[in-house]
Amino acid sequence: MMMAGILILLWSTSRSALTSVHGFASPILTQQFSRLRGNENANSLVRTFSAIDNSTTTIDSTSVSDDALIKAQRAERKRKKLLTKAAAAKRRKFIGLAKAVDRGQFKTTYQPGGSSGVSFVAKSGLPQDYSSRPFTVLGIESSCDDTGAAVVRSDGVILGESLASQAHIHEEWGGIVPGLAKAAHEENIDRVIEEALERAQTTLEEIDAIGVTVGPGLELCLRVGSEKACQLATDFKKPFVGIHHLEAHILMARLENQEALEFPFLALLVSGGHCQLLKCLGVGRYAVIGGTLDDSLGECYDKTARLLGLPIGGGGGPALEALAKNGNATAIPLTIPLQKRQDCDFSYAGLKTNIRRAAEKLVLERGVESALELSEEDKADLAASFQNTAIKHLEQRLVRAMKMMEKEDINTLTVVGGVAANQEIRRRLQNLCDDRDWSMVVPPPRLCTDQGAMASWAAIERLRMGSSDDPSNQDIYARYPFSFYDNSPETNNE
C-alpha cells in the first residue's frame, strides 16, 4: 500500500510526462526533490529513475522518505537484474537463428535416430556379422556436379573409387546448369559404379551394403544417383542407407582416424552450398550453432574467381587460392562482415559486393575496360585481400563458437567441405587451434570435395549404429536440414 503511494505506475499519464522522468525534465525533478529532501538524496533519486530503461515509473513527490529511497533503489536493482536476464535469453535465442537452421519450419528434417536422436532402426537390415568383421559398402554421390562412386571397407580403407568430373561443361556455361548436370550424371553413372567395383576387385553380389546421397542438393541430380542405388539395393537385396550430404562431409574427417575425432566435437562446414558451425553430438545428431545468412564461402570464392577471369570449372576456389599466393593480402581494404552481430552466423554476400567494387575502383584507376584486363599483380592483390578478409570472418565466428564449446569441455575441431581443401584456411585455423590448445582434424584435401567415398563412409557409420533405410520408399530432398538435437543451455535455442 505504502509502495503504491510512493511509486505510481502512470500508464494513463501523457507520454511527455513519462519521458520527463528520463529526459529533459530531470533537472526539474532534481529541483523539486532538493526542496523536499536536500540535494544528495534528490540527485540519487533522479539518477535512480533515469537509469531505469523505458520506465513508466513516476513519483508522488509529497511523500518521499528514506524508506522510499531504499525501496526505489531495490526496485532498480531488481529491474536491472531482470533486464540482464532478458538480454542473456535474447542472445541465446539469437544463436542458431541462421537461415539454414531448422526451427520447425521445414517439412522434412534429417532424423535417422528419431526424436530422441538415438533410436535407430534397420529398415532394410544390416550386413551380416557387421560388428565382428570388416564389411564393404558401395557409395554413390550425385548431389551436384560430379558423379562419384566408391567401395569402402568398414575399417576406413578405400578399396576402389571413380569420379566423373563435369568441370568442362560448367566451364563452358560459366556455372552449373542443372539440366546439363543431370544429363551428364545419367551418362556416367553406370560406368563410374563399374569402375569403382572393378578397382576394388569386387562385385555387386559381394558388397555388403549400398549408400547414396539423398539430400541436400540439386533435385534433378540427386534423383539420378538415388534411383540407381535404390534399384541396385532392391535387385541385390542389400541393406540400403540414404545419405545426408553434409553429414557425409563431416564424417569424412573420421575415415582415417576415428579415435582422433570422437563425438562430441565442433565442425566448421564450408562448401559450395553451405557455411555452418555445428556441435556434433553423434551420428545423425547435430546442433547448428551458426549458419550463413546469405551466401556460402564456396559461392563467394567462385564468384570472385569469375570476376577475375579465373577457371571456374569444378569451382573457382583452387584457382583463386593459387593466385592469392602471389598477392599482398593487405593491399585492398575490405570490410570483415557482421562486426556488430555477436553470434556464430556468417554472411558473405557483402564481401562479394565489396570485392567487386574494389575491382571496379582499380579498373578506373588503371584506365582499363574491365577487371579481366587488370595486371596479374592487381588481380593477385585482389585475390589475396579477398581471401584474407574471408578467413578473418571465419576466424572471428569460430573463436566465438570455440569459447561456447570450451564451457562444455569440447576442444576438438574439424573443418570439412570443399573449401576445407584450401591450404591457407587450414594453416590459419590450425594456428588458431594451437593458440587455444585445441586439436584439429581435417580430411585430406582430395576427400574434402565431393566424391563417392563420402557416401560409402557415411553409410558405414550409420550401419554401425544399427540404422538403414527402405530402398522401396526413399525420397530425395533438395533441402534437408538437420533436426535439432542439443542438451546444453548455451546452444539451446528452443
Nearer to ligand KG4, 301 or 348 (CB): 301
Nearer to ligand KG4, 102 or 145 (CB): 145
Nearer to Zn ion, 389 or 449 (CB): 449
Under the binding rule (CB under 6 A), the answer on residue 295 touching ligand KG4 is no
Distance CA 118, CA 268 (A): 23
Handedness of CA 200, 203, 206, 210 (dihedral sign): positive
Cis preceding-peptide flag for 264 (omega within 30 of 0): yes
Q: Which of 315, 337, 350, 443 binds ligand KG4 (CB under 6 A)?
A: 315
Under the binding rule (CB under 6 A), the answer on residue 298 touching ligand KG4 is yes
Residue 85 Cβ vs Zn ion, minimum distance, rounded to whole Å: 41
Q: Which of 150, 248, 362, 419 binds ligand KG4 (CB under 6 A)?
A: 419
Under the binding rule (CB under 5 A), the answer on residue 345 touching Zn ion is no
Phi/psi-derived region of residue 176, left when phi > 0, alpha when psi is between -120 and 50, beta in every other case: beta
Residue 17: alpha-carbon gap to chain centroid: 48
| Residue 290 interface partner, choices Zn ion, ligand KG4, none, CB cut-off 5-8 Å depending on type | none
| Residue 162 interface partner, choices Zn ion, ligand KG4, none, CB cut-off 5-8 Å depending on type | none
Q: Which of 271, 387, 468, 483 binds Zn ion (CB under 5 A)?
A: 271
54, with CB counted inside 10 A (0-12, 13-18, 19+), is exposed
Residue 136: alpha-carbon gap to chain centroid: 31
| Helix 376-406 vs helix 349-366: crossing angle, to nearest 10 | 160
Which DSSP symbol is given to 134? Answer: -
| Residue 96 interface partner, choices ligand KG4, Zn ion, none, CB cut-off 5-8 Å depending on type | none
Distance CA 270, CA 8 (A): 56
Under the binding rule (CB under 6 A), the answer on residue 144 touching ligand KG4 is yes
Residue with cell 531488481: 78
CB atoms within 10 A of CB 414: 25
Under the binding rule (CB under 6 A), the answer on residue 57 touching ligand KG4 is no
Nearer to ligand KG4, 8 or 176 (CB): 176
Q: Which of 102, 141, 247, 302 binds ligand KG4 (CB under 6 A)?
A: 302
* Site residues (CB under 6 A) for ligand KG4, limited to 444-473: 449-450
Count of residues binding Zn ion (CB under 5 A)? 2
Q: Which of 450, 461, 469, 486 binds Zn ion (CB under 5 A)?
A: 450
Distance CA 459, CA 151 (A): 11
| Residue 443 interface partner, choices Zn ion, ligand KG4, none, CB cut-off 5-8 Å depending on type | none
Under the binding rule (CB under 6 A), the answer on residue 292 touching ligand KG4 is no
Q: Taking contact as CB under 6 A, which single stretch among the options 128-136, 172-180, 398-406, 417-425 is the one that binds ligand KG4?
A: 417-425
Under the binding rule (CB under 6 A), the answer on residue 307 touching ligand KG4 is no
Under the binding rule (CB under 6 A), the answer on residue 273 touching ligand KG4 is yes
Q: How far is CA 210 from CA 57, 197, 394, 453, in A?
A: 68, 12, 36, 12
Residue 172 Cβ vs ligand KG4, minimum distance, rounded to whole Å: 17
Q: Starting at the earlier edge strand, list the strands of the sheet with 158-164.
A: 158-164, 147-153, 136-141, 209-215, 240-244
Q: Which of 96, 313, 316, 350 binds ligand KG4 (CB under 6 A)?
A: 316
Gap between the terminal Cα atoms of the chain: 40
Q: Taking contact as CB under 6 A, which single stretch among the options 82-90, 122-130, 283-291, 311-319 is the one that binds ligand KG4?
A: 311-319
Residue 454 Cβ vs ligand KG4, minimum distance, rounded to whole Å: 9
H-state helical runs in 95-218: 167-173, 178-199
Under the binding rule (CB under 6 A), the answer on residue 215 touching ligand KG4 is no
Count of residues binding ligand KG4 (CB under 6 A)? 19
Q: Do the Cβ atoms of 7 and 72 come closer than 8 Å?
A: yes
Residue 260: alpha-carbon gap to chain centroid: 22
How are beta strands 136-141 and 209-215 bridged, if at all?
A: parallel
| Residue 471 interface partner, choices Zn ion, ligand KG4, none, CB cut-off 5-8 Å depending on type | none
Which residues are at the interface with ligand KG4 (CB under 6 A)? 144, 271-273, 298, 301-302, 315-318, 321, 417-419, 421-422, 449-450
